[in-house]
Amino acid sequence: MKLKIITQERVVFDEEVDEIYSKGIDGEFGLLKGHIPMMTALDIGVTRAVVGNEIKRFTTMGGILQFKDEECLILTTLAEPDEEIDEARAREALERAKSRLRNANARLDAKRAEAAIARAEARLKAKLAK
């Protein structure tokens, strides 16, 4: 089956894969060849593509996933392959976001900090997973 991950700026991934795992707003799920057609909203998280014995990981910052006719299309505002993620930068972003959350004066500030934490944690999960 084919997996395409597309952002506004570029096609991040466009290859044949054996299995796909991602995080929807209702939890994690997997897709294998022959899966029924589906469409779901994605949450901030890690999308994994299995090709033979190799696992390719991508952070996906929300978006839409559609699976139909053995093709999985992910449209997202931001997706990063694990090899493009700067671990030190992600750790710094996580610490900044946690600090902002501790010092949040309003509910909106807290929600923004929580979203930043989720993004940083997704990057680290994709980068550090083995």
Q: Are residues 6 and 34 in the same domain?
A: yes
Q: Are residues 76 and 119 in the same domain?
A: no
CATH number at residue 111: 1.20.5
As given in the structure block, the two tokens for residue 98 are 């946690």
Q: Are residues 51 and 66 in the same domain?
A: yes
Give the integer Cα–Cα distance in Å for 125 and 9: 23
As given in the structure block, the two tokens for residue 22 are 């991602």
Domain span at residue 55 reads 2-82
**pLDDT tens per residue across span 5-42:** 999 999 999 999 999 999 999 999 999 999 999 999 99
Number of domains in the chain: 2
Q: Are residues 91 and 78 in the same domain?
A: no
Point out the residues of the chain with pLDDT beneath 70.
104, 106-108, 130
